Amino acid sequence: MPDPAVLANLTVILNPNAGKGKGRLLFSRIEKLLKAQELVFDVLETTGPGHATELARAAVKRGATTVIAAGGDGTVREVVNGIAGFSTVLGIIPVGSGNDFGKSINLPRDVAAACELIRQGVVRRFDLGRVGNAFFANAVGIGFDALVVVEANRIRWLRGLPLYVTSVLRAMIRYDCPRVVLELDDRRLEQSILLTACANGQYYGGGFHVAPEARPDDGLLDVCVIDRVSRLKILQKLTYVIKGTHAGLPEVKFYRSRRVVLTSPDVLYVQADGDLLPEADPHRVEVELLPGALPVIVPNRPESN
């Protein structure tokens, strides 16, 4: 189990809108499950985008030893931005639609098991990503996938698979593959891209197996670059990415690098852990990895990925 000091001052930050309202429905159950572990904690609810970061920062200032993100990948990312740079430990109760970071570090997907883990697990240090002035736990996507997020945010009347399909089709109509200069630790590339994914974990976008060889504690980003393809082939390529079988495609290249810089005269759409970064420079994106900078409560068992 974690050092008792880790559990001395707990704050739970719950996103009631996570998982299309699942967070709100599970609020009382999460409280009961954590109390059953004889834990003492505060529960704070978010009210909108960015609020989890504010709540996490305030919790750190009050001396929180662990901040638990009860939500999806977006909630985890916001909490990480509130605790980054401090010794505060991250706990995760997955109630979102994707929970990709949790999947990459072998966290239980069952809420009861996740609550039990807070007391029974161990603290392990993972790498922390930074894009511009923002932090991320899982992955940054630059290009087509980020434009899909833009389109999804504009659609209010659809949910689930219909929302995703509609967003992809809209993005296909709008998207022109940008010409970029891609700078990695040991090389410089110039090409047009469909997308570039800078991955700390293996999955993003609700299950896309974008970086099958990524390890979130190896000190390196797995960088997946997909070349320019025709609009008619975009759906085909995305199908391969979902299954994690895209590594053999001629349009796909993988690299490993601690730092990645993309520049382009064209607009670069950027998403981090599923959230758009509207404050990002539209023509220059810098991503880097901070090795071992994120302590997380995880199961006390060997990695299975």
Q: Which domains are assigned to the chain?
A: 4-120 (3.40.50.10330), 139-292 (2.60.200.40)
Please determine, for residue 60, whether its predicted confidence score (pLDDT) is greater than 80.
yes
> 161 falls in which pLDDT band (50, 70, 90)?
low
CA distance readout (Å), 67 to 90, 118, 177, 293:
5, 11, 40, 15
Q: What is the mean pLDDT of the chain?
A: 91
pLDDT of residue 160: 61
Q: Name the helix (H) or strand (E) containing 104.
A: helix 100-104
CB contact at 8 A, 88 and 71? no
DSSP 22-77: HHHHTHHHHHHHHHHTT--EEEEE--STTHHHHHHHHHHHTT-SEEEEEE-HHHHH
Please determine, for residue 193, whether its predicted confidence score (pLDDT) is greater than 80.
yes
pLDDT digits (tens, 9 = 90+) for 239-256: 888 788 898 899 999 999
pTM above threshold 0.75? yes
The end-to-end CA distance of the chain, in Å, is: 22
CA distance readout (Å), 285 to 184, 189, 210, 272, 288:
12, 15, 19, 12, 10
Nearest to 24 by CA among 95, 124, 117, 118: 95
pLDDT of residue 45: 96
- For 154-181, what is the mean pLDDT? 84
Q: Name the helix (H) or strand (E) containing 223.
A: strand 221-227
H/E/C letters for each residue in 163-178?
Answer: HHHHHHHHHHHHCCCC
